[in-house]
């Protein structure tokens, strides 16, 4: 049995806006790796795009940010806080992602203070980068 948390035990997000299904590695306050298993039943596939369901790139960025939030919130220094997007830089979308795919989400946290932080992340599909971005976040009281 793993001592890794379930995403819903750390994040306030809930379906249909909880995009991390499992945490597979975690170094609190430093880094994290998780997975998002796309079934094809997700709400956005019906309209994006009919006949060619494609995961919206901004939702890959959100999934990366959620994995980052797990890494932040797993650090006891940030108990009672909520990380919110403060910015998104250098987002690049490299591969199309669709129903049945599993994304591996990795985040490395950078500079962090009591009020804000930065990180970099990737969403990988079959060992290839599907999305990469730099994250900035602010920490507010939960």
Would you say residue 2 has pLDDT above 80? Answer: no
Pick among 3.40.50.2000, 3.30.70.100, 2.40.30.10, 3.10.129.10: CATH of 19-141? 3.10.129.10
Sorted by where each begins, the domain ranges of the chain are 19-141
pLDDT, residue 98, reads: 98
48 is catalytic: yes
Instruction: Write down the residue that tokens 């009591």 correspond to.
Output: 114
pLDDT tens digits, 79-133: 999 999 999 999 999 999 999 999 999 999 999 999 999 999 999 999 999 999 9
Which residue among 6, 13, 37, 48 is the active-site one? 48
Other CB atoms closer than 10 Å to residue 134's CB: what's the count? 15
The dihedrals phi and psi of 103, each to the nearest 5 degrees, come to -95, 135
pLDDT tens digits, 57-94: 999 999 999 999 999 999 999 999 999 999 999 999 99
């Amino acid at each position: 049995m793993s001592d890794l948390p379930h995403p819903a035990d750390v994040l306030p997000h809930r379906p249909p806006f909880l995009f991390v299904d499992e945490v597979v590695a975690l170094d609190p306050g430093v880094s994290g790796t998780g997975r998002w298993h796309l079934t094809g039943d997700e709400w956005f596939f019906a309209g994006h795009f009919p006949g060619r369901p494609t995961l919206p790139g901004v939702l890959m960025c959100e999934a990366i940010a959620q994995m980052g939030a797990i890494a932040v919130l797993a650090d006891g220094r940030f108990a009672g806080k909520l990380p919110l997007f403060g910015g998104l830089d250098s987002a690049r979308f490299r591969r199309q992602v669709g129903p049945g795919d599993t994304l591996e989400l990795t985040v490395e946290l950078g500079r962090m203070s009591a009020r804000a932080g930065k990180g970099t992340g990737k969403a990988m599909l079959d060992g290839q980068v599907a999305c990469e971005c730099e994250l900035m976040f602010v920490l507010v009281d939960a």
